[in-house]
Amino acid sequence: MAPVSADSAAPSPVLVLARRVLRIEADAVAALAQRIGAEFERAVELILQRRGRVIVTGIGKSGHVARKLAATLASTGTPAYFVHAAEAAHGDLGMITAEDVVIALSNSGASEELLTIVPLVKRQGAKLISMTGKPDSPLAREADVHLDAAVDEEACPLNLAPTASTTAALALGDALAVALLDARGFGAEDFARSHPGGSLGRRLLTHVSDVMRAADRVPRVTEDVSMTAALLQMTRGGMGMTVVVDANGAPIGIFTDGDLRRALERGCDARHATLTEVMTRNPRHIGPDALAVEAAEIMERLRISQLLVVAADGALAGALTTHDLMLAKVI
């Protein structure tokens, strides 16, 4: 008898439960998309109108979501920080000013730690946005704006552990952060400035001048030399190419290992050929102030491994290779 394949067997109880959890959480987020409306718009407007910062607070699992929301806001153009609800009642409320907006997260909307600080937040003159799973809860009623993050059920089989509710709150917080990002005109370069240590920061903030080899390190020859002499200079330079310059030192061409292969394929005699027969005239180039990602795009599109860097006055400023871009982690 042939063995039953794993694909044809009924899913295990583990997979059945895991898929149920994912469906419940996905349905919870989908329901939010249908439900958000005027209150969400009011929350965005309220934050944009205030001159202070956004303070996000919560307790328990909601506190973890609140911490993530504060981090997302801060990295997308809305200055924000997290304050633990329990610590707020023991001195950390001093961080809050009249120009701030407090976002309080609580699925029940009745967390004692949050309700304790609500009057104090109001007394400071700060505005309060609540995000709860119960629109009729005390926290929702006392807030200037309430965001409804209610879910039909938790993904936990006992319907007890915060699962779908935390996912819904997380997604709603992301929606708020992205809406604010768009309203502020926050762009990719702004994002890179707040993530200088990440790959996006390297890609967007690195300029050609940061990664190129300066002109004095770039091999070069004049066009009247032999192909053999150019080949020797290319080998010494270690860039797989040599720049061809005129009498004034301005670049007029390039001779690369690719040009060499193509010349040999044509039956060119390297011992007697002149450089003008095999070099590439008017090669592609880029300015030193351009972004390194622009150089990467040109090189990838044209399938070339070297690119000259030419200054505004036409002088050779340097050159770079795909290896240089890789070392700088631009590609």
Q: For 193-238, how does the pLDDT look when each residue is reduced to its tens digit (9 = 90+)?
A: 555 555 555 566 788 999 999 999 999 999 888 888 898 999 888 8
Query: Is 50 exceeded by the pLDDT of residue 281?
Result: yes
Which token pair is 58? 């919560």
Closest CA to 107 of 139, 82, 129, 84: 139
- For the chain, counts of helices (H) and of strands (E): 15, 13
Least confident of 84-98, 119-133, 206-220, 221-235: 84-98
- Of the two residues 190 and 42, the one the predictor is more confident about is 42
Question: How much is the average pLDDT of 22-40?
Answer: 95
Contacts (Cβ under 8 Å, ≥6 apart) of 213: 239, 318, 319, 320, 324
pLDDT of residue 328: 82
pLDDT of residue 204: 64
Query: Is 50 exceeded by the pLDDT of residue 1?
Result: no
Tell me the per-residue pLDDT of 171-194, one tens digit each, with 9 for 90 and over.
999 999 999 998 888 766 656 555
Angle at 289 between CA 295 and CA 200, to 5 degrees: 60
Mean pLDDT, the chain, as a whole number? Answer: 88
Which token pair is 6? 């794993």
Question: How much is the average pLDDT of 251-261?
Answer: 92
Angle at 37 between CA 42 and CA 183, to 5 degrees: 50
Alpha carbons 29 and 168: distance in angstroms, whole number: 5
Distances 60 to 67, 68, 109, 131, 162 between C-alpha atoms, Å: 11, 13, 13, 14, 10
Question: How much is the average pLDDT of 140-161?
Answer: 93
Least confident of 81-95, 154-168, 232-246: 81-95
Alpha carbons 102 and 278: distance in angstroms, whole number: 69
Helices (H), the chain: 13-35, 38-49, 60-75, 85-88, 112-124, 138-142, 164-184, 188-193, 199-205, 208-211, 227-237, 257-265, 275-278, 292-302, 322-327
Query: Is 80 exceeded by the pLDDT of residue 8?
Result: no
pLDDT of residue 289: 92
Q: How confident is the model at residue 91 (pLDDT cuts 50, 70, 90)?
A: low
Query: Is 70 exceeded by the pLDDT of residue 111?
Result: yes
Amino acid at 268: C
Burial 295-307 (b: 16+ CB within 10 A, else e): bbeebeeeebbbb
Question: How much is the average pLDDT of 254-275?
Answer: 87
Q: How confident is the model at residue 308 (pLDDT cuts 50, 70, 90)?
A: very high
pLDDT of residue 42: 97
Distances 59 to 56, 100, 330 between C-alpha atoms, Å: 11, 20, 40
Contacts (Cβ under 8 Å, ≥6 apart) of 322: 296, 299, 305, 331
Query: Is 90 exceeded by the pLDDT of residue 160?
Result: no
- Of the two residues 166 and 85, the one the predictor is more confident about is 166
Query: Is 60 exceeded by the pLDDT of residue 6?
Result: no
- Of the two residues 77 and 80, the one the predictor is more confident about is 80
In this structure, are residues 137 and 108 in contact, taking their beta carbons and an 8 Å threshold?
yes
Alpha carbons 216 and 223: distance in angstroms, whole number: 18
Alpha carbons 8 and 11: distance in angstroms, whole number: 9
